[in-house]
Structure 1
Amino acid sequence: MPRGRLRPVDLAREHGLSTQAVRNYEDAGILPAAARTEHGYRTYTGRHASALRAFLALVPGHGHATATSIMRAANEGATEEALRLIDESHAQLLEDRRTLQAVEQALRSLVPPRAPEPAGGATFIGPLARKLGIRPATLRKWEQAGLVEPRRDPATGYRVYSAADVRDAQLAHQLRRGGYLLEQIAPLIRQVRTAGGLAPLESALRDWQARLSARGRAMLRGAAALDAYLDAYLDRAD
């Protein structure tokens, strides 16, 4: 094989991949099209090796689908499109950070509910609405969205909100004030219920923060690998 030419297995071994995976990446546009020998075998070059390194570095921060789109754009010479896709990922990461911050602020602002009327740690829709400064219709809308799950008094049919319901309503109120939609709030409320309260969520929030930080660092590594690929091979022939 001519000097500087690589076989699929040479690229595969560096990353613990199968040769079929390398061929699949080429077919997907992640790698530039390979040259063929007179017998039809693929031959790769340093450019292909660099492209594969860039792609694998991009995946942890951007995900497989976005990393594929980034590399396909880069290989087609659409550098601005590749950069736009990267910007979108960074914007999403920033939005996720802001969401986490809003959740943390909402949790800190919650106070343990007093034992309101009637006795036993439960209250009705009117007193709870007044406590939150919202209309009873808003609480009914939150119930339809699954944010609160009051039981019904068997004698009167009135909604009865337990201490946990009050907590959920307070959390929903804080997040709504932060501009979050009901469908964005519902998964968090379910997590609070599953955890059995707010305290166990502290660990989940730390894990969430750690994942965001890891994603940010992964984006940096992916950017460095992509920049090296573009700098070495953009508008250049092997």
Structure 2
Amino acid sequence: MKSQNGVHRPVDLARAHGLSAQAVRNYERAGVIPPAARTGSGYRVYTDEHQSALSAYIGLLAGFGYADAGVIMRAVLRNDLDAALDTISTAHVRLQRDRETVERVASTVDTLARAETSGISEKSVSVGTLAHRLDVTPATLRKWERAGILAPSRDRTARVYSPDDIRDAELAHLLRRGGYRLDHIATVIEQVRAAGGPGPLAASIDQWRARITARGRAMLTGAARLAEHLETRVAPPVGDTGGATGL
């Protein structure tokens, strides 16, 4: 039976969104679309509201991810719009923080890349020397180490910071002065290491910016679909579906 009069089978919703019927049932079970009515023989019956909720959820996924999209839709379905909007706002704050981070990293990495190609060779240094260089305490450097930002080697019992460690410490110091949390800084440092240093990372900054922009646009699309769904929820309740069949 094809969808008619606002009544849909699981397969109807699935085809409209490029999903399997089982995926639609899974989303219902996860509470991100409303529970379906059942016919006397036990078949699920979905309505235009289900179709709208599914469209909103799929739209939210690209920008907000599975966890936040689920939180948003479950809050909407229990009529807790404030909780949904709070999750959306928090996600936008994270996006802005990521945007600020990439710009700060772009500036910092460019400085480090120039130093790397200036012909000045760094030597390994002790914790005291590095602390003095950055005007921080040795305890601060040990705290950064526990946070995964630094990974110095050991010469007997003393910490030894290689040129790469010095680079990571200088980058961490700049980000820390910018107010970034240690876990956030650790993520940035990990990207520097994965790229093979500040030079290669500088070349990937534009790609990083593009990913942030794409996420921002996806968040706008998801929010627009959610707004459309909220409009359907103020409509009068759908009447009895009678003997419609579903899968």
Q: Is TM (by shorter chain) over 0.5?
A: yes
Question: Which protein has greater RCO, CA pairs closer than 8 Å, 6+ apart?
Answer: 2
Q: In structure 2, what is the Cα distance between the partners aligned to 1:233 and 1:149?
A: 53
Change in 2 beyond 3 A, CA 1:20/1:176: same
Q: TM-score, normalised by structure 1?
A: 0.83
Range 97-106 or range 59-68, more displaced: 97-106
Equivalent residue number for residue 211 of structure 1:
211
Q: Deviations over 1:107-134 (max 9, x none)?
A: 2343627446xxxx34444443333223
Q: Name the counterpart of 2:30.
A: 28
1:128 equivalent to 2:130? Answer yes
- One-letter code of the match for 1:71? M
Query: Which residue in 1 is equivalent to 2:244?
Result: none
Please state if 1:97 is matched with 2:99.
yes
Answering whether residue 47 of structure 2 is matched by residue 45 of structure 1, we say: yes
- Distance, in Å, in 1 between the alignment partners of 2:89 and 2:152 is 43
Distance 2:24 2:228 in 1: 20
Task: Return closer, same or farther for 1:230/1:149 CA change in 2, 3 Å cut-off.
Answer: closer
Query: Could you say what secondary structure the match of 1:200 adopts?
Result: helix
Contact residue 10 and residue 25 of structure 2 kept, 8 A: yes
For the Cα contact (< 8 Å) 2:109–2:202, is it kept in 1? no
Change (3 A) 1:22 1:90: same
Please state how far the C-alpha of 1:139 moved relative to its aligned partner. 3.5
Report the AA paired with residue 195 of structure 2. Answer: A
- Cα deviations across residues 174-195 of structure 1 (Å, max 9, x unaligned)? 1121122333323332332333
Corresponding letter in the other structure for 1:106? T
| Corresponding position of 1:77 | 79
Deviates more, 1:125-134 or 1:196-205: 125-134
Closer/same/farther in 2, CA of residues 56 and 4 from structure 1, 3 Å limit? same
Q: CA deviation at 1:149?
A: 4.1
Q: Go from structure 1 to structure 2 and tell me whether the alpha carbon gap of 1:107 and 1:28 turns closer, same or farther (over 3 Å shift).
A: same
Structure 2 Cα separation of the partners of residues 161 and 95 of structure 1? 30
In structure 2, C-alpha distance between the alignment counterparts of 1:149 and 1:129, rounded to whole Å: 15
Checking the alignment, whether the CA contact within 8 Å between 1:36 and 1:43 is kept in structure 2 is: yes
Query: Matched residue of 1:54: which SS?
Result: helix
On the 8 A contact 2:110/2:202 being kept in 1, the answer is: no
Identity, % of aligned pairs?
Answer: 50
Which stretches of structure 1, 4 residues or longer, exceed 6 Å deviation after superposition? Answer: none
Q: What's the secondary structure of 2:8's corresponding residue?
A: coil
What is the 5 A alignment of 1:122-161? Answer: 122-152=124-154, 159-161=159-161
Cα root mean square deviation, aligned = 2.6
User: What whole-Å deviation, never above 9, does each CA across 1:149-206 have from its counterpart, x for those lacking one?
Assistant: 444557xx76544332322221121112112233332333233233332111124432
Name the CA distance, whole Å, in 1 between partners of 2:224 and 2:45. Answer: 26
- Mark the CA change 1:66 to 1:140 in structure 2 (over 3 Å): closer, same or farther: closer
Alignment partners' CA distance in 1, 2:90 and 2:14: 30
Opposite residue 221 of structure 1, the aligned amino acid is T
- TM-score, length of structure 2 as denominator length: 0.80
Relative distance call for 1:151 and 1:58 in structure 2 (3 A) is closer
Structure 1: stretches of 5+ with no match in the other structure: none
The residue type paired with residue 171 of structure 1 is: L
Aligned residues: 232
Q: 2-side partners of 1:124 and 1:15: how far apart? A: 59
> Distance between the aligned counterparts of 1:6 and 1:237, measured in 2?
16
Cα distance in 1 for partners of 2:154, 2:71 equals: 52
CA distance in 1, matches of 2:196, 2:210: 22
Distance 1:32 1:132 in 2: 56
